[in-house]
């Protein structure tokens, strides 16, 4: 199975870069004053996943300078260990094998942005995957979804 390059990151409202693929927004809130129809056109995101954003409380503590970056980072990583977050991270890691994408946020300084913490989690999950030639739709889909992969097998069964 041919795999895609690893996912990347981007900043909202920037020009697209060749190869960045699907833009996935990982912020708690959508851009203010930008209609849903303009999210993609204006370079924000193709898909919005607020589940992977820091909690409102954590983000407020950091913005209000009640905590330093290292504390924010530790707490964000802990938030991402919740089962629902872990499952989405693992799903993105699996998708990253065949679908190019980048995760984005508003932050100008990526070194102090949660996307710099989230990307390594996705990459670590991706590394733990063991792609095999059996990784096909048939392994996961209902029969109507994978009949085409069976080729002549269904024809043989019909006779």
Q: What is the pLDDT of residue 107?
A: 95
> Quick check: is 138 in a domain?
no
Is 145 a member of any domain? no
User: Buried b vs exposed e over 93-130: b needs ≥16 C-beta within 10 Å?
Assistant: bebbeeeebbbbbebeeeeebbbbbbbebbeebbeeee
The predicted model gives 109-136 an average pLDDT of 86
Order of strands, sheet of 101-105, starting from the edge strand that comes earlier in the sequence: 8-11, 101-105, 22-25, 47-48
User: What's the Cα-to-Cα distance from 146 to each of 57, 92, 139, rounded to whole Å?
Assistant: 44, 22, 9
Is 38 inside a domain boundary?
yes
pLDDT in tens, 43-98: 899 999 999 999 999 999 999 999 999 999 999 999 999 999 999 999 999 999 99
The domain in which residue 42 lies consists of 8-128
Q: How many CB atoms lie within 10 A of CB 64?
A: 8
Kindly state the average pLDDT of the residues 100-127.
Answer: 97
- Check whether 140 has a pLDDT greater than 90: no
In percent, how much of the chain has pLDDT > 90?
69
Q: State residue 133's pLDDT score.
A: 36
Global pTM? Answer: 0.79
Q: For 97-107, write each residue's pLDDT tens digit.
A: 999 999 999 99
What's the total number of domains in the chain?
1
Domain membership of residue 30 (yes or no) is yes
- Please, what is the average pLDDT of the chain? 86
**Domain contains 147:** no
Does 155 fall in a domain? no
Tell whether 2 is covered by a domain.
no
**Residue 18 resides in a domain:** yes
């Amino acid at each position: 199975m041919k795999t895609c390059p690893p996912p990347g990151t981007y900043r909202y409202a920037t020009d697209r870069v060749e190869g960045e693929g699907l833009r996935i927004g990982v912020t708690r809130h959508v851009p203010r004053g930008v209609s849903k129809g303009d999210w993609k056109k204006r370079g924000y995101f193709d898909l919005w996943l607020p589940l992977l954003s820091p909690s409102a409380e954590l983000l407020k503590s950091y913005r209000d300078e009640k905590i330093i970056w290292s504390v924010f980072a530790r707490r964000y990583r802990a938030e991402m260990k919740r089962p629902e977050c872990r499952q989405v991270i693992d799903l993105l890691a699996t998708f990253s094998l065949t679908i190019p994408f980048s995760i984005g946020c508003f932050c100008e300084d990526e070194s102090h942005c949660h996307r710099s913490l989230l990307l390594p989690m996705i990459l670590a999950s991706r590394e733990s995957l063991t792609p095999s030639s059996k990784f096909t739709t048939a392994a996961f889909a209902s029969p109507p979804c994978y009949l085409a992969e069976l080729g002549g097998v269904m024809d043989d069964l019909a006779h």
